[in-house]
Amino acid sequence: MTSDRSAPPLVVRFGAMGDMVLLTVLIRALCARFGQPVDVVASGPWTQPLLAGQPGVGRLFVIKSRRRPYWLSAEQRRLVRELKQRGAGPVWLCESDDAKPLWLLDRAGIPAGLIARATAYPRAAGEHFADRWLRFAASTPRDLLTAPPPLRDATACSQLAVSEQSRAQLGPWLRDKGLEDRPLILVQAGNKRTMRLGSRQRASNTKYWPEARWSAVLRGLRTLHPGHALLLLGVPREASLNDDILRLAGLNEVINVADDLPIPRLLALAEHATGLISVDSGPAHAVVAVGCPAVVLFGRADVSLYAPRGLDASVRSLTGRVDGEQSMLGISPEQVLAAWQEIMSTTVRRPGSS
C-alpha cells in the first residue's frame, strides 16, 4: 500500500522526561523536513507542560500508560479513536519494545508501511541518542510516496523554548521570594529513583549522591559566588531530600523550591540562571535544552548515550568509579566544584549571572 502524507508526521514515544527532551531533536528535524508541525503520542504528566507550544510540536496525544490491557484502558481506546479521526500519515515509532504501539497504530487504521521503526536503526557504536534521533529523522516509511529529502543542516541538540507567558510569570515569583535582582545557581539533587520507597542509600539506587556531599558543594558555591542565591530544584516529593541537604549545609540564601516548580517555571528559571549542578535527571536535560550551562553527575548510565546536550549550553558530565565499576559515589565534591569552575570560565555571561 502506498500513500501521500494526508496527515502530519506523527512521532510515538512513551518516554521519561529526559527522553522527551531528547526527542525534540527528532521533532524539530521532521518539522523542518516536512514543513509542518509534528504530532506526538506520549505518556507521562510531564509531556504536556514540557512540549505544548514548543517549536515544531503539533497535537499532543497523551495517555498515562500503554501497558494496561486495551479493554481496561479508556485512554487507549480514546487514543485509537482520535488517531482514526486524524487520518493515516507517516509515523516515526521510537520504542525499543514496539509490539503494543504497533498494535494500537494498526487498530487506529495506520498501515505498517507508513511506520518507520527505530528498531530498524539500532544505535551505532558510541552514538548519542540525539545523533540517533537525527539519523532516524532522515528515514522514510517505505510506503510514503512524497517525502522531502532529509535536511543537511539539522542539529543534534535538544532545544526547548521559553514562552513569553512563562517569562512574564517568573518575575512576580522571584519578587515574592526576594530574588528579583539576584543571580541564581540551580541545584538538582533528587530524581525519581532516589525518591522511591525505601532507603535513599539502597544499593539499587544508582543515582544517589550523599546529602553531605551536596552540602559541601553548596558551601563551595557560596564561597565562589557570595552574591548568588542557590535554589534547590525538584518535585514536591523531593522537598524532604532538599531539606536534609539544607540542614547539613547551614547556609543562608539557599532556597528549597521543590514544592513550587512546575515545568514552565523551571524552563524560565533555566533561561535566567547562571548554571546548574544536577544528577542525571529529566530536569537536567530540560535545563540544558534551554541553553543553561550544567555539571551533571552520572551513576551507571552510559554518558556517551545520555549526556544532556543543548544547542548553546556548556556541559560537563562527571562519572566516578567504586571497586572498579562506574558509580556516582566515586565522584567527590571537589571534582564537581572544579568542573563548575571550568564551565564558568568558558561560558559567555548569561542573564542573571555575575
CA atoms lying within 13 Å on the CB side of residue 197 = 0
Do residues 165 and 139 lie in contact, with contact meaning Cβ atoms separated by under 8 Å? no
3-state secondary structure of 295: strand
β-pairing, 184-188 with 91-93? unpaired
How confident is the model at residue 200, as a pLDDT? 65
Do residues 343 and 314 lie in contact, with contact meaning Cβ atoms separated by under 8 Å? yes
User: Residue 110's domain spans which residues?
Assistant: 10-137
- Answer yes or no: do 127 and 246 share one domain: no
- Answer yes or no: do 192 and 125 share one domain: no
pLDDT, one tens digit per residue, over 130-182 is: 999 999 999 999 999 888 998 877 889 999 999 999 999 999 999 999 999 89
How confident is the model at residue 354, as a pLDDT? 44
Query: How far, in Å, CA of 214 to CA of 221, rounded?
Result: 11
Q: Of 137, 158, 177, which one is at a domain's C-terminal end? A: 137
pTM equals 0.93
Low-confidence ranges of the chain (pLDDT < 70): 1-5, 193-204, 348-354
Q: Of 117, 137, 157, which one is at a domain's C-terminal end? A: 137
- Give the closest residue to 173 by CA, choosing from 266, 48, 311: 266
How confident is the model at residue 129, as a pLDDT? 95
How confident is the model at residue 352, as a pLDDT? 47
Q: Is residue 353 part of a domain?
A: no
- Answer yes or no: do 209 and 322 share one domain: yes
Q: Is residue 152 part of a domain?
A: no
The DSSP 8-state label assigned to residue 144 in this structure reads: B
Do residues 222 and 251 lie in contact, with contact meaning Cβ atoms separated by under 8 Å? yes
- Answer yes or no: do 117 and 181 share one domain: no
How confident is the model at residue 151, as a pLDDT? 80
- Answer yes or no: do 81 and 170 share one domain: no
Q: Total structural domains in the chain? A: 2
Residue 53 φ/ψ region, left for φ over 0, alpha for ψ in the -120 to 50 degree band, beta for the rest: left
- Answer yes or no: do 229 and 283 share one domain: yes
In sign, the C-alpha dihedral spanning 69, 18, 198, 242 is negative
The enclosing domain of 244 has a CATH number of 3.40.50.2000
